Structure formats: C-alpha cells, structure tokens
Amino acid sequence: MSIDKDFLPFTRPSIDERTIGEVSDVLRSGWITTGPKCQQLEAALSARFGGRPVRLLNSGTAALELALRLCNIGPGDEVITTPLSWVATANVVLAVGATPVFVDVDRSTRNIDLARVEAAITPRTRAVIPVDLAGLPVDRDRLAALASKHGLRVIEDAAQAFGSRWDGREIGSFGDLVSFSFHANKNITTSEGGCLVVNNDEEALRLERLRLQGVERLPGGELEVEAWGAKANLTDVAAAIGLGQLRQVQDFTAARRALAERYYARWDASLEFELPPRQAAPAEGNWHMFQPLLPERLAGRRSDFIAAMREQGIGVGVHYPAMHLFSLFREHGWRRGDFPIAEDIGERILTLPLFPAMQPSDVDRVCQAVGAAVCALR
C-alpha cells in the first residue's frame, strides 16, 4: 500500500534513530521478552512518580483489568465510570464480572461529573474509574475526598494523561491505582503496552503474579501457582522504545502545548465550533488530543466532514462516541437519553492532527481545511 507523503494524520509517533538503534541492540541480544530493559523502564517510571512501584503490562487495558483484580472486584460489585471514553474502560469491568455504572460528564471539562457520582453510589459500589479525556486531569482533590467518604478504591484511567499534572503534581505520583497506556497514539509509546502504578510492594508482587499466569518462582527453580493470572507482560523490545520515549517526553509535551496554542490563535470563530477547554490551574494537561465539537447544525454530518477533510489530505479521528449507546451496553439496559451531555459531545467530537513532529504551518493548513470543509457542506 502506498503512503501519501502529503497526508497529515491525526497522530504519528516520534521515534528517533537512537531509539531505533537501541531496539536493534535488544533484537541482537537474544533476550527479547520481559527482561533487563523492562526492569530499567519500571525503575525510570518509578523514579518519575516519586518512588511508587510501577509494573509494565502489554496494554493499558490489561492495567485496568488487573487493577480491578488487585482490588478483588468481581461479580455483584459495581464500578462507576464515564460513558465518554474508549470502550476498554467499561469492558474491563465486564471482564471481571462486575457491573459498570455510568455517570454523565461535565460539559466544561468533558470528564466524569463528580457532582453526579455521589448519587450513583450504592451499597454495591466498590470503585470509581475516572478518565482524563485528552489528557486533561479530573479534579483529583474532589475525587480523593469522595472516595475517602464512601470507602471506594480509585482506579485512574490515565491512559491519555502521561505528563499531565494536578496542582503541580504529576499524574501517577499520587492517588490510589493509576493506569497508563503506551499505545502507538499516546504521548509516549512502547508500540503497544501500558503500566500500573501501585501503592506498595505487596501490591506490586501481586501484580507481578497476575500479569504472568499467577506464577510464583520459588528457590531452586521450582514454581507455584495459587491463583489465576493473565498473560500480560511487556517485552524488552517494547521497553527499549519506551526508554527512548521517556528521554524525550518533556520536549514532546512542550511541542504539543505550542501546537494547541497555535490552533486557538488561528481558529476561525465564525465557524461556530466548540473548541476544547482551555487549561488552567490546578489542571495542567498534556494536550494528548485537540478536539473541537462540530457546530450543532452539522451534528449529523460528521462522516461528511471527515471525508471533506480527507480530500484535502487531513486525517480526522473520533474519540469517542458515548459507549453506552453501543449494542453491548444497550443489552445491559442503557438507552439514548440516559447521559445527554456525553451523547451530545460524542456525536460532535473530532480529533484533529496534533503530534510533536507537526510544524506550525501544519496547524494553519488544518485550520484552512476546516473552513473549506464547512463551506463544502453548506
């Protein structure tokens, strides 16, 4: 398949030649599965998060599911989360046999509305999974107070929030259990992968067993398995990519912030889009995505808009439709109208190009293409 060099995707990973060389070294080493590179990356992430234990996994989805299992959440339990996220956020709740309970989002942040969470808590509620949409952090102070009041675990779906901060503290350096994704479209990548930040060595040891078939290695080379485990370990090939990404993440974040500011400066307000929330203390996002909402008059024509942008060589994503409207969740009783804010955002949201290798002129090109696409749909 040929690749159009002039096509601007909505995201593209930045992997430098040094990292490519380090991956080659791993491939030549003869040790390509979980090994010394994974240990190095876990140590580097732990240092970044103030010494908290970190364990690598083969996806952010696995990190969420194993976090639920660490909390012993299963059949009969309820977990509160947002309908405006990648479907994995709720799928993992189903995977452990628990019930996802959706709460609508706050229009100003597009994150779960913590003012509505308390009304959704029942005697069966065991945990809350907040999502930092586009890397903008949920109010961590209010979240912690709510969880403490009701005795709930918090499993942060910070898949999109690597490098984001709340009140000056980096996401992952505080809180309960914190899950990150290192998928190819995230701010740092291991191609596929993720990690879970836990609270202590005991949880870290349990997680090690959960991620690899429940195996406990005994002295003398013997093995024991006392409980179920997944197959969710990361490879050293992936970890080598992650180590290279970690060296560059500060520059990546600075580039994303500059590009986001360029979008605000160059955007034509007369087009009547709703731009993503401007970030202000104490929330400091990483600009994982730049997501305007289509004008209401074009709400039913998103696919036409995306096609018109593609004709101009611009890639546009959709992150995310409101997941309670998927057939899987409608079979569990959710219906249109249950969460009107998430539904409205989910039907109009667009993800425009934003990645570190972009140039300011690329932002200008996107803004011009948006105007042309709107004109074509009138």
* CA-to-CA dists, residue 5 to 9, 233, 314, angstroms: 10, 35, 11
| Structure confidence by residue, pLDDT tens digits, 13-36 | 999 999 999 999 999 999 999 999
| Structure confidence by residue, pLDDT tens digits, 118-156 | 999 999 999 999 999 999 999 999 999 999 999 999 999
User: What pairing do the DSSP bridges indicate for beta strands 283-284 and 165-166?
Assistant: antiparallel
The residues carrying an active-site annotation are 186
Domains of the chain: 17-242 (3.40.640.10), 249-377 (3.90.1150.10)
CB 334 within 8 A of CB 90: no
| Structure confidence by residue, pLDDT tens digits, 76-117 | 999 999 999 999 999 999 999 999 999 999 999 999 999 999
What pLDDT is stored for residue 3 in this prediction?
A: 55
208 DSSP 8-state letter: H
The whole-angstrom separation of Cα 116 and Cα 35 is: 44
Cis ω before 356 (30° cut-off from 0): no
Residue with tokens 């990361």: 234
- pTM of the predicted model over 0.85: yes
Q: Which helix (H) or strand (E) holds 283?
A: strand 283-284
Q: Counting beta carbons within 10 angstroms of the beta carbon of residue 378, is it exposed (0 to 12), middle (13 to 18) or buried (19 or more)?
A: exposed
CB 201 within 8 A of CB 51: no
**pLDDT above 90 coverage of the chain, percent:** 97
